[in-house]
Structure 1
Amino acid sequence: MHIRTAAVQTLRENELGAVVPPVHLASTFELDPATEDAPYAYQRGSNPTRAQLETVLAALDGAEHAFAFASGMAATAAVFSPLEVGDEVILPATVYGGTFRFVDRIFPQRGLTGRYVADLGELTDADFTEHTRMVFVETPANPTLRITDLRRIVELAHRHGAIVAVDNTFMTPVLQRPLTLGADVVVQSATKYLAGHSDLLAGAVTTNNAGLAEAYALAQKASGGVLPPQDSFRLIQAIKTLPLRLERQQANAIRIHEHLRERSDVTATWFPGSHSEAEARIHASQADGPGAVVSFELAEDLDRVAFLRALRYPAFAVSLGGVESLICRPATMTHEAMAPEDRSLAGIGDEMLRLSVGIEDADDLIADLDQALAAAR
């Protein structure tokens, strides 16, 4: 089944012949007095509507197990939950600011270590120690959009007994399926492209590893950061249009990147595969497109604030993946948890802007960028 079909038809069979799944709001369920058992008992542990969403998430990622959480960070926290005191995680220096904050603030409390590398593409056997338990990957990276060779990282990490976790938020399973490339677990902020309308928080974790699945089920039940039934239903419905939305967003982003890199008043642009021919080849071998995020930097003589204020369509706001275009300044917004030296290592300059391209008309978005650039002179 093609992913465009799976997004719509995975839950075709429903009670009473309904063409959309029902919403089960019950916080508790009646049990059999003889066995004190039933398929569902208490909403935090399991819920029929959330289970339906998890069926869809598993189908999209080609996974045996899927788990829905109340936010992307709740899902990321769950990914780290199997780690034990003394374990180390290798991460890219460009890792999402929320993940950086978790590693920086929470890891020390749990006796864990996070080690950052400027370029995961340069990772070698010498970078692994007896304590290295996980390699956490973002490809494309946020917000530099650098590419990591997932097959190479999987082979390298598995040789040292380490888990490979991939944050696939920017690509979604429509464009990239890390589990099929050998990754052990995939995490996504479903708030972004999966939900697609900037109106709910959600996180998703998928895996084919039964041991990890057991740990993630425990994380759901023990921490309680589960997705409510109403939001689970809304996410099921939103996913049905994910392939269509992302197709339009990506087409718009390609045009915008091509336009911006030709302008003399834009001194730098970042797009998946734009860093080098090698990264372009790697990305083409493991993904089906560049996605819909473009990062860029204005010329020094332009007024950044005037540019942002002049924009009519992209809102100056954090997040990404919605049908509406959004623009942000990563250094002070998405990655504000990082110290200046950490952002420097990651290649995130103070003047970098990240544009999440929506489904608006591409000509309108380009014209808007042009008039804002003119206003910034």
Structure 2
Amino acid sequence: MRANQIPTEEITREPAAFADRVTADGRFDRTAEPGRFRLVINRACPWAHRVVIVRRLMGLEEAVSLAVTDPRQEIIEGDPHWVFTEETGSPGDRDPVLGIHALREAYLARDPGYTGGVSVPGLVDTADGHLVSNDYDRLSLDMATEWGGLTRDGAPDLYPAALRDEIESLGREIYRDLNNGVYRAGFAPDQKRYDRAVAGVFRRLDALEERLATRRYLVGDAVTIADIRLFTTLVRFDAVYHGHFKCNVRKLAEYPALWAYARDLFQTPGFGDTTHFDHIRVHYYYVHTAINPTRVVAVGPDPRLWLTAHGREELGGAPFGAGTAPGPVPEDERVPAPA
């Protein structure tokens, strides 16, 4: 569905168009090599944000370069597209490494006959300019588990083998009701389907509030992929999903445990330092003209609230388990701090 179209049916999320896997041993499709791949993202997108967090926690910034598109998509041949602009640091409106203006050019380099949608994140092979994968979940998992010697010393175990069944079981519920549920509410074509989607969103938030009242992290005693998957929705909730997508039964800030949990993660290296609230607000309110035709961008809520004390340390656990925190954010990847 185009962002400027009034929805006529319930939104569905298409499977990844390209899903080559990149691993240290190359046993699937491609081999992880330093400098070979470039990750194209937009900081507004929660699905891309997942991969950015994993990349940072695993210390893959030097191995995989980062390209950030403009939060305002450009209409090309009738469809909205992720593009590079001088406003967001791309000289001549082209990515300085890939030489492209729109991410779709990497899709077409891979398959000249491709006519499907274009989404971020997109992992691009710098050797030939071909899109390797837009499978956000597989990219996250492989960067967390399959990039071997390219990860930093002290990188955490984000996908512990003993916890994977629980991570995936919980992840399916959160995806259905919350990660994708906010979109089904925001783009609902009628009252009945909106009511059903919103009920699922808050049923899941209520369950998570209960779960997180007595434990610091979703699964186990340290940050895992489960927390990353949840965080990228929570950090956008009050800023855009509550008002823009009409998920307004309660704000995240009205859930004591969930709000403290989200602040705990935000203040953990890799989470808040990869969150760009301006890009989030501008993208959602500007691009989705079907539900915000004036393109007026909301100014709140105050992002400084994310830096207030959360008290979650009392529940025990450690964010990186036996690992260590990542180093400083590379200078050219820094986002504005809440102010």
Return the TM-score normalized by structure 1.
0.30
Higher-Rg member (1/2):
1
Structure with greater strand share of residues: 1
Q: Identify which of structures 1 and 2 has the higher relative contact order when contacts are C-alpha pairs closer than 8 Å and 6+ apart.
A: 2
